[in-house]
Amino acid sequence: MTRVPTSFLPPIALELDSRARTPLYRQLYDWFRTAITEGQLRPGQRLPSTRTLAAELKISRIPAANAYDQLAAEGYLETFPGAGTRVARSIPNDTLLFSQTVGPAAGKRSNWPPQRTPRQTVRRVSRRGVALRQLPPQSWLNIVGPFRVSLPALDHFPLGVWSKLVARHARKPAKGVMGYADAMGYLPLREAIAEYLRTVRGVRCEARQILVTTGSQQGLQLSAQVLLDPKDRVGMEEPGYPSARQAFLAAGAHVIPIPVDQEGINVARLSSLGQGVRAVYVTPSHQYPLGMVMGASRRMLLLQWAARTGAWIIEDDYDSEYRFGSRPIAALQGLDTGSTVIYTGTFSKVMFPALRLGYIVVPAHLISAFAAARDAADVFSSTLYQVVLTDFIREGHFARHIRRMRMLYMERRAALVQAIRTQMGDALEVIGSEAGMHLVVLLPPGMDDVAISRRAAQLGISAAPLSTCYAKSISRAGVGSVHGVGRLRRGGLILGYAGASPREINDGISKLRMSLRA
Ligand SMILES: Cc1ncc(COP(=O)(O)O)c(C=O)c1O
């Protein structure tokens, strides 16, 4: 072994910051550990004594000794009485372990932590991982400004009532509120949801079939996990909900875009695919994003197709509480006699998105499979919020809030349509404005909706481009892929109106006009 002078240290200056909150011994420890794991200090290399180190750094011996002790205890150093301290010889010689260096002093100095040598090995990610990255960066989603899709009127949420209910349960929580709980969810909430769905949505269900989820996104993920194997084919509305596509891609499925017409998904096109489609994703009450309703005959055809082919139907009933011209449309699940439909819903729109609560109505024979999938995923949703939401529903606040929001959203929708008409004339074609919390404006042919959305985002406006709802922008990788190409004839913008006041809507449309002109 080559002998090195005892005071030899790598050429990277070891500077300490005595004013930093990280103690000196910890700064020393971090420095040595990084130098060892990144190979600047080699196995067997001798280190200065604590006395020399302390003198060189003009600190007391105590932090130096503490750092050495800790490094020795963790196996980075070895000490021999009379022979000093060395880097442990058991450390692999070519080690590049990329350990984490911490401490406020670390960030401030250019030499702290010691420079890392990038590792050469290229690590593969899964083909699913690659497929998931195909969505373009969606800057418009990071904005809570006017037209943010799916954003309810947060300033009209009854926070007074809500916070009282939270306090009621948080101040003196029952044991069950703080411990582990049932993967299917809090039973009284499941009972309240089942009653609501039976009465208002025409869903056939019992409380035991309700699985409380972390929003519908988890409902889609769990459905994909329980129902699909990698490479299974899943039919999806085209255009359709991009996050649903992501959930199926994450499960390794082949997503097959099926065009929609005035009645929703084209069942004839589904049938033409033969027997090999394992599931189909639909939004029958309010097609996302275009807004049409699937009529009775199309629903029958879809159920017949599923019965014939043995496919599952995943029904996403995300905002059907808000229908303005008529009563809410009943769920497709209510027509299903063959336990074919997995029904997902959410509290994101009728309460608020950060609540992260939703539900699945699981066919009775799949309850244990879904419960196990949930258990394997994240065990269960926050019990406190489930308990609070149960009271919110049981005490009538939920129904009252929905009634108030229905009126408010009707006004906001009218304000948006009016603003588009007065400020834009006939330049934009408005579609899908009879229900829900968003509408779509079609742009004049040839306009790039993604570029317009990006420009609008710079002005604080969140206008999602319609083209991202088409599968055509998604690549065709092996596992987890999208087959076929969506036919996007015209770009458009999806404009949410629930979260903006009429004044914000008006200002928002003038900014959107500027983005269009640019
Ligand atoms: C079609 C569709 N489904 C579901 C959701 C709700 O998702 P989550 O419950 O995960 O917030 C949305 C919200 O944007 C949506 O547009």
Residue nearest to atom 7 of ligand 1 (CA): 216
The residue whose CB lies within 8 Å of the most ligand 1 atoms, and thus the one to mutate among 213, 281, 316, is 316
What does the pLDDT read at residue 99? 42
DSSP 463-515: -EEGGGGSGGGS---SSSEE-S-----S-EEEEE-TTS-HHHHHHHHHHHHHH
Q: How many Å apart are CA 409 and CA 125, to the nearest integer? A: 44
Write out the H or E segment, with its range, that includes residue 235: strand 233-238
Ligand 1 atom nearest to 149, measured from its CA: 14
Q: Which two tokens stand for residue 399?
A: 């129904």
The residue whose CB lies within 8 Å of the most ligand 1 atoms, and thus the one to mutate among 211, 346, 347, 351, is 346
Ligand 1 neighbours by CB, cut-off 6 Å: 150, 215-217, 241, 283, 288, 316, 318, 346, 348, 353, 358
Evaluate the omega torsion of the peptide bond into residue 242 and state whether it is cis, within 30 degrees of 0. Answer: no
- pLDDT digit string, tens, across residues 119-135: 567 788 888 888 887 77
Write out the H or E segment, with its range, that includes residue 211: strand 210-213
Number of DSSP helices (H) and strands (E) in the chain, helices first = 17, 16
What does the pLDDT read at residue 60? 94
| CA atoms in the 13 A half-sphere facing the CB of 69 | 7
Q: How many Å apart are CA 497 and CA 220, to the nearest integer? A: 25
Eight-state DSSP code of residue 363: -
**Ranges in the chain, pLDDT < 50:** 1-6, 95-115, 473-487
Ligand 1 atom nearest to 316, measured from its CA: 3
Collapse the DSSP code of 218 into the 3-class scheme (helix H, G, I; strand E, B; otherwise coil) and give the result. helix
Q: How many Å apart are CA 477 and CA 479, to the nearest integer? A: 6
Evaluate the omega torsion of the peptide bond into residue 48 and state whether it is cis, within 30 degrees of 0. Answer: no
- For 320, other C-beta atoms within 10 Å of its C-beta total 22
Whether the Cβ atoms of residue 244 and residue 283 lie closer than 8 Å to each other = no
Q: How many Å apart are CA 474 and CA 225, to the nearest integer? A: 21
Name the one residue in this structure whose structure tokens are 């603003």: 419
Q: What is the largest CA-CA distance in the chain?
A: 91
What does the pLDDT read at residue 472? 65
Cα 344 to middle of ligand 1, angstroms? 10
Residue nearest to atom 14 of ligand 1 (CA): 150
Whether the Cβ atoms of residue 338 and residue 364 lie closer than 8 Å to each other = no
Q: How many Å apart are CA 468 and CA 456, to the nearest integer? A: 16
Residue nearest to atom 12 of ligand 1 (CA): 318
Cα 204 to middle of ligand 1, angstroms? 22
The residue whose CB lies within 8 Å of the most ligand 1 atoms, and thus the one to mutate among 288, 321, 357, is 288
Cα 150 to middle of ligand 1, angstroms? 7
Q: How many Å apart are CA 430 and CA 418, to the nearest integer? A: 11
Name the one residue in this structure whose structure tokens are 């997503």: 255
Ligand 1 atom nearest to 213, measured from its CA: 9
Cα 220 to middle of ligand 1, angstroms? 10
Ligand 1 atom nearest to 353, measured from its CA: 11
Cα 110 to middle of ligand 1, angstroms? 45
Spell out where 239-378 has E strands: 254-261, 264-265, 277-282, 312-316, 341-346, 358-361
Q: How many Å apart are CA 349 and CA 398, to the nearest integer? A: 12
Cα 351 to middle of ligand 1, angstroms? 12
Q: 280-298: b or e for each residue (b if 16 or more CB lie within 10 Å)? A: bbbbbbbbbbbbbbbeeeb
Write out the H or E segment, with its range, that includes residue 216: helix 215-227
What does the pLDDT read at residue 112? 43
The residue whose CB lies within 8 Å of the most ligand 1 atoms, and thus the one to mutate among 148, 214, 217, is 217
Cα 266 to middle of ligand 1, angstroms? 22
What does the pLDDT read at residue 94? 64
Cα 98 to middle of ligand 1, angstroms? 39
Evaluate the omega torsion of the peptide bond into residue 239 and state whether it is cis, within 30 degrees of 0. Answer: yes
